[in-house]
Amino acid sequence: MRITLPIASPGLGVASVFIFIFSWNEFLFALIFTSSPKAMTLPIGIARQVQQYMIQWGPMAAATSIFIIPVFVLALAAQKHLLKGLTFQMLK
């Protein structure tokens, strides 16, 4: 634990951020598995702003701006670990 966890922590941090981002933006499974508006996720709600004869650009832009805030904050908070994990080189 004292040796492997500090070495693996940047990689675990990068993997957790990527998993969060990919699951946060998941569209297909949410579209298939949700049938009621109460269970609808945010990407599905944003996609519902596109209608047959009209696209509601204002609500879509507002929802997208709010939707991106948690991912942006997480990426800023984990930026140090992201850089370590992505550019990790073995120390001699």
pLDDT, block means (10 residues), the chain with 92 residues: 79 81 81 84 85 90 89 80 64 48
> Which structural domain range is residue 26 located in?
4-83
Is 92 among the domain residues? no
Is 73 among the domain residues? yes
CA nearest neighbour of 19 among 76, 74, 91, 77: 74
Triad 29, 30, 31: Cα angle to 5°: 90
Contact 74, 6 (CB under 8 A): no
pLDDT of residue 57: 92
**Domains: count for the chain:** 1
Is 91 among the domain residues? no
Is 88 among the domain residues? no
pLDDT of residue 85: 62
